[in-house]
Amino acid sequence: MTVFADLGSTWSKVVDTSVKIIKTKEVPLDIIADFACGHNAEKRSKRSVNELIALCEGGLRLIGEKNFLLVDVGSRDTKYVVYEDGKFVQTGWNQECGASQGFAVELLEMYYGVDCNELETPEHGYPVTCGLIGISRIFDEIIKTGDEKKAVARFIKGIAMNVYHFTGRPGRMYLSGGLCENRLFMESLPCEVIPLGRLVLIEGLREIWKRDNGQEES
Amino acid sequence: MKVGFVGYPPDEIMREYCSEELIDLDNDLGRVEEKDDLYLPKITCSVIKRIFNNALALRPQKIIFDVGEGKCDSGRFLSWLLREYFHMDVVETRNQNRRGRGTVICDSELPLRRKFELILDGIVAPKDYKLGMELHPKAGLWSVPCWDARILDLFPDGTRVFGWTRCFENGTPDDLDLECHVEKDVPTVFYAQTFCSKNILAKNLARVYRGLYVDCDGRLTASVKAQIEAFLYLRGAMK
C-alpha cells in the first residue's frame, strides 16, 4: 500500500486505506509516507515532492480546463499556478507573512469563539499587509466598537483581498486548502471561486506516482 | 594599497589601480562584522548592506564607487554616507561606456556559477575567453550578481545570462536596452534583490516574456528555491 501525505505546518493529510486529516503535531511518529509534499515532507517521507509541482498535477487532474488559476491557501503561505492552453505559464509563492494566512484565521476563531461560516461578509476589509499589523487593527476596532465578529470578519476580508491581489486580481480562481470550508473567506474574494477541497496536493502526488511507476497505486 | 570598488567603474579608472589590491565590495568577502542595522533602514537591499559592512570592516584606503545609472540611487547615497560620515576616501565615477566587448561568457555552455565567477573576475583581470556557445539554452537567468550565489546551482549548465550581469560582461553597465534584452523562447527567471528598484524591470519583463519573477532578501528562501525548481521543471528545463 502506498501512503501519500501532504504534511503541512499545522494540518496534515494522510491517505492510505482511508483519508485522514489530522493536526501535524498529532501525526504518529511512526508514519513515514512513501510520497509526500509539504513543509515537513523531507523528514517524514521516503520521497518528497515540490509542492508547486504537486499543486500543478493536482490541478490538471481535477480541473477539466486548459486555462485556469489554482490557488492553495495554507496555514502559513499562499501559492498559485496558472495554466494557459494546457501549459504551465506562471507561479507564485508567498510565505513571508504566515501571520496573515490560514493559521491566523484558526487562532482568531478559537480566541473569539466565532465560526466564520456564521459571520456576515463585510463590504471592506483591513489592509492586512502584515498579519501582525492586521491583528492589531482587530484589537483597535474591538476597543472602538466592541464588535468582535465584525472585526474578525474585516480581518478575513483583508486576507482574502491579499490573496486576490497576489494572484493578479483574477476573474475566477480554483481554490485549494482548508479555507475552502470557510464561507466567509470565499465570499470575501471579489471573483468567482471554485473550491476544490483539501486534497488537491494529494491528487497531484498520486498523478506523479502513477506516472513514475507506470501503474495505478496499490 | 587596498582599493575597494563598487559597481562597475570605467575600465580606464580600474586600470589606474590595477597594481593595487583591488577588492569588489559588492561581493561576499567572508564573514565581517555587520553594522548596517545602526545606519541603514531595514528596507535597504542586501547588496547595499553588504557594501556598507564590507567597507567598514575592511577599511580600504580608497573606494572607487560607480554612482552612475549603472548602479542605483541607494549606491549613490551610500557613497555620500561613507564619504561624509565615515571619512572614507571615495572616488565617484559614472561609467557610461557604450563600446561593448561582447557576452561570450553569458552565452557559453558553462555552469551558471562559473559564468558569474568569470564575469565578476573580469573587472579586475580582464581576459579574452574562447568558449563554446550554448546554441539551445534550456533556461535563462535575468539578474544582477545574486547576494546568495546558491541560487545559481539550481539552473542547468549553459543557462543564458541576461540583465545587468550581461551588461557587466559587456562593459556597459548603464545600457538599459541591453539590460532588458531577453530571448523570448528561453524560459527565464527574473530575479532581483528585495527592495532593489530593478524589481520594476524584473516584474514587467517576466510578465511580458512569460518568465518567473522572484525577489529575495539576502539568503535564498525555501519558497524562492521551490518556485525556481518548479518553474524550470514545468517549463522543461530540468528533469
Residues of A in contact with B239 (CB under 8 A): none
Which of the 8 DSSP states describes residue B194? T
Q: What is the pLDDT of residues B116-128, one digit of tens each?
A: 999 999 988 889 9
pLDDT at A218: 55
Contact yes or no for B44/B74 (Cβ under 8 A):
yes
Q: What are phi and psi of A189, to 5 degrees?
A: -80, 125
List phi, psi (to 5°) of B2: -85, 120
- According to DSSP, the β-strands at B140-142 and B90-93 are unpaired
Sign of CA dihedral A142, A146, A152, A154: negative
Q: Find the chain B residues whose C-beta atoms sit closer than 8 A to any C-beta of A.
A: 210, 212, 221-224, 226-227, 229-231, 233-235
Which long-range contacts link A191-198 to residues 24+ away (Cβ below 8 Å)? Answer: A191/A164, A196/A58, A196/A59, A196/A62, A196/A63, A196/A70, A198/A11, A198/A13, A198/A21
* Nearest by Cα to B106 from B150, B193, B168, B191: B168
Question: How far is residue B198's CA from residue B196's CA, in Å, rounded to a whole number?
Answer: 5
Q: Which of A53, A91, A96 to mutate to test binding with chain B, by most B CBs within 10 Å of its CB?
A: A91
The shortest C-alpha distance from B229 to chain A (Å) reads 8
Minimal Cα–Cα distance from B211 to chain A, Å? 7
Express the helix, strand and coil content of chain A in percent, nearest 5 each. 45, 25, 30
> In this complex, which of A77, A88, A90 lies closest to B223 when CB atoms are compared?
A77
CB contact under 8 A, A50 and B226: yes
Q: How far away is chain A from the Cα of B212, in angstroms, using its nearest Cα? A: 6
Unique residue bearing C-alpha cell 491581489 = A165
User: Hey, of B203, B208, B234, B239, which one would you mutate to test binding to chain A, going by the most A CBs within 10 A of its CB?
Assistant: B234
| Non-local CB neighbours of A69 within 8 Å, separated by 6+ positions | A80, A81, A82, A167, A168, A170, A172, A173, A174
- Strand bridging mode A45-48 / A33-37: parallel
Q: Is A72 on the interface with B (CB under 8 A)?
A: no
Query: Which of A79, A46, A84, A44 shows the shortest CA–CA distance to A63?
Result: A84
The number of angstroms, rounded, from the C-alpha of B225 to the middle of its chain's C-alpha atoms is: 19
Which parts of chain A fold into alpha helices (H)? 41-44, 51-62, 102-112, 131-145, 148-166, 183-188, 200-213
- Give residue B49's pLDDT: 96
Tell whether A50 lies on the interface with B, counting CB pairs under 8 A. Answer: yes
Cα gap B108→B118, rounded to integer Å: 11
**3-state percent helix, strand, coil for chain B, nearest multiple of 5:** 35, 15, 50
Please give the Cα distance from B11 to A133 (Å, whole number): 48
Report phi then psi at B111, rounded to 5: -60, 150
* Domain residue spans of chain B: 2-93, 112-234
CB pair distance less than 8 Å for A53 and B210? no
Low-confidence ranges of chain B (pLDDT < 70): none
Residues 6+ apart with CB under 8 A from B150: B220
The CATH label, of 3.40.50.720, 3.40.50.11890, 3.40.50.2300, 3.90.1300.10, for the domain at B2-93 is 3.40.50.11890
Tell me: ipTM over 0.85.
no
Check residue A95 and give its pLDDT: 66
**In Å, what is the CA distance from B170 to each residue of B107, B154, B162?**
12, 24, 11
Q: Is A49 on the interface with B (CB under 8 A)?
A: no
> Tens of pLDDT along chain A (218 residues)?
899 999 988 889 999 889 999 988 888 888 889 999 988 888 889 999 999 999 999 999 999 999 999 999 988 889 999 999 999 999 998 866 555 677 888 888 888 888 888 888 988 887 776 666 677 888 888 888 888 888 889 988 988 998 999 999 999 999 999 999 999 999 999 999 999 999 999 999 999 999 988 866 55
What is the pTM assigned to this prediction? 0.87
CA A125 – CA A137 distance, rounded (Å):
10
- B236 to chain A: which residues are within 8 Å by CB? none
**Is B226–A92 a contact, with Cβ atoms under 8 angstroms apart?**
no
CB nearest to A88's CB, from B221, B226, B235: B235
Q: What is the pLDDT of residue A144?
A: 87
- How confident is the model at residue B208, as a pLDDT? 95
- In angstroms, the separation between the Cα of residue A72 and the nearest Cα of chain B is 14
In angstroms, what separates the C-alpha of B238 from chain A's closest C-alpha?
13
Separation between Cα atoms, residue A54 and residue B164, nearest integer Å: 34
Across the interface, whether the CB atoms of A52 and B226 are under 8 A apart is answered: yes
- Rounded Cα distance between A104 and B180, Å, is 40
Q: What is the pLDDT of residue A101?
A: 73
CB pairs under 8 A between A and B: 36
- Tell if the CB–CB gap between B227 and A56 is shorter than 8 Å: no
Which triple of cell numbers denotes residue A212?
A: 513514475
Q: For the CA atoms of A193, A197, A199, A200, what is the dihedral angle to 10 degrees?
A: -10
Tell me, what's the pLDDT at A213? 86
Query: Residues 6 or more apart from A199 whose CB is under 8 A from it?
Result: A6, A13, A15, A19, A58
pLDDT for the residue A140 = 84
Taking alpha carbons only, the member of B215, B142, B212 closest to residue B183 is B142
What SS3 state is found at B212? Answer: strand
Beta carbons of A95 and B235 less than 8 Å apart: no
